[in-house]
Structure 1
């Protein structure tokens, strides 16, 4: 699931045998919590806790896997890379009762104007984004900082989105949203950057017929999932991606070194065991800062590599601020906050977002 957009979100290959993550949800007084929502971030895999607070959820081993536990009135709990060999007892703590902040400085924009700008940057400007609707708009709060020329948004409850085009209902637990502008404006032509992050859960609300599958495949084509999966399988040329660096078309091997590895995702001091998952390790070759005629030692120590992609004349730019990251068999990547997208790949936002366990040939 960051961006640009983020979702925080991001995954790997199926196990040969189905496994489960098991546990129990209690409050800070050790009372069982029935009906807590439990899901893998960015996926269609979720469940509810039983009457005694226990739960079991199907486990599919993937990179950056995060189990999210949510219950009304309590702080959301995040369990990264859960271990199917463990049984978890998870204690949720109550949220503090906070009244809405009173903003003394009057905003230069109406709520309707800020909501319109939010939906443009949150849902996206594609057909799917324009057709998507938010069911609980009243739960979203806005603040415009005149000095920073920035629009901020937060939500009391997860934002419920109906994506008619792709046939999903999405619950997005918004953690951050900020749009920065060059001047005091909400106009997209004045926008510098947009970022939002949070966790998401997808629910199918349409029959997965040929029409829906075709629309989902269209959203997948040219996405970051498509690019990274194509890159790792050595199919960039076959999938019609063209890769450029500094305006010159280059081969993937001149920019990326790709190795299939076993990546350690968790350690258990109790069991004296470590768990490894198959993934692709990608190393970026070269550093754009190395060739700059600068005296700044601190800048030379930083890493940045920017590449451009063309797919059917649609351009996307990817800026890597990390030298090494990992990709799973679905095309989900790690280091989300240091791999930035602009251009065509960034337009879809939530409207074109697919579950992290999406299979293009389902």
Structure 2
């Protein structure tokens, strides 16, 4: 029997567009040699806002004053940096350190699974099953290292290079720097690997695949946003569950939307207390999910952009629990 499949993907914070932008100029160097680094990726995590350094190590990036996403500085072979753009001044000098070769690599002599079997599970749990395989692909699968531990029944994945994802379903190319992937599995008597939970952490940069957004991509993006955790959290924090198409059920019965949510404003953030063990969330009458919190004190915080914390303790099942990378939109996506 398949249980809920929680997925945790961390994308730092969110970008909310406003009417004007600011510009940051800076330089990236090798910390030891002080040589400028060409082609370093500089982007706001989880968005379509980014650039690369030139031959002098210089970059120029525009951003909104309301930007809350981390500024990611990423280069193959070097330690990734996450910076707060509000603390940086024009002309900032960023020094990057080489990554030790041993990091990100785990060897287990008793790994009994073939790479093919591990890769199938990884793709299933990282990309998801709701989108056809040809619609969303990882182009550099050979860069992924996979290890299965039969004692813990956990599958881990690592990559020293960003994963290049071609998402034809939503119309994006995604560069994803994977910090950690762990699938907690349960083997059946027949040897089938069922998934208990999935934990994914990393940073992402999105680019449009086409110069103009096609109609099919626009429709798919609107659909995925409507069925996303981000949309639910924003609706909950602003008390617009009913207006945005959500119904809440408890023990098989529909209840007032905020009966089991104690909502308290804390400045720009919203504190939520779930006053029962589990609620059922129905979106647009047919999309059913459930939500529970894996801690005694069932509280969490939603910031003004719709991000919630702590993400590892909040568990979604059903439609919301099944969402994966193939369904994920950039954080600066706007309807």
Fold conserved (TM > 0.5)?
yes
Q: Partner residue of 1:191?
A: 195
After superposition, give the CA deviation of every residue in 1:117-140 in whole Å (9 maximum; x if it has no partner): 110000001126662111001111
Matched, 1:346 2:321: yes
- Residues 108 and 62 of structure 1: CA distance in aligned 2, closer, same or farther (over 3 Å): farther
Q: Partner residue of 2:299?
A: 323
Matched, 1:66 2:83: no
After superposition, give the CA deviation of every residue in 1:261-315 in whole Å (9 maximum; x if it has no partner): 3xxxxxxxxxxxxxxxxx4x22223555xxxxxxxxxxxxxxxx64320123322
- Residues 306 and 122 of structure 1: CA distance in aligned 2, closer, same or farther (over 3 Å): same
After superposition, give the CA deviation of every residue in 1:300-336 in whole Å (9 maximum; x if it has no partner): xxxxx6432012332212234562413334x343433
Runs of 5+ consecutive residues of structure 2 not aligned to the other structure: 1-5
Q: Partner residue of 2:3?
A: none
Q: Aligned to 2:233, what secondary structure does the other structure show?
A: helix
| Mean CA deviation greater in 19-28 or 9-18 | 9-18
Q: Partner residue of 1:259?
A: 265
Q: Structure 1 residue 151: deviation in Å? A: 0.9
| Mean CA deviation greater in 39-48 or 226-235 | 226-235
TM-score norm. by structure 2 comes to 0.86
Spell out the pairing of 1:224-303 with structure 2 (5 A cutoff): 224-245=229-250, 247-254=252-259, 255-257=261-263, 259=265, 261=267, 279=268, 281-285=269-273, 287-288=275-276
Q: 1: distance between equivalents of 2:234 and 2:106?
A: 44
Q: Partner residue of 2:183?
A: 179
Figure out how many residues of one structure are paired with residues of the other and give that number: 321
Q: Structure 1 residue 209: deviation in Å? A: 2.6
- Residues 154 and 286 of structure 1: CA distance in aligned 2, closer, same or farther (over 3 Å): closer
Q: Structure 1 residue 260: deviation in Å? A: 7.6
| Mean CA deviation greater in 7-16 or 209-218 | 7-16
Q: Structure 1 residue 175: deviation in Å? A: 0.9
TM-score norm. by structure 1 comes to 0.80
- Residues 345 and 128 of structure 1: CA distance in aligned 2, closer, same or farther (over 3 Å): farther
Q: Structure 1 residue 71: deviation in Å? A: 1.3
Q: Structure 1 residue 247: deviation in Å? A: 4.6
Q: 2: distance between equivalents of 1:9 and 1:336?
A: 11
| Mean CA deviation greater in 134-143 or 124-133 | 124-133
Q: Structure 1 residue 258: deviation in Å? A: 5.1
Q: Aligned to 2:236, what secondary structure does the other structure show?
A: helix
Q: Partner residue of 2:286?
A: 313
- Residues 128 and 353 of structure 1: CA distance in aligned 2, closer, same or farther (over 3 Å): farther
Q: Partner residue of 2:16?
A: 13
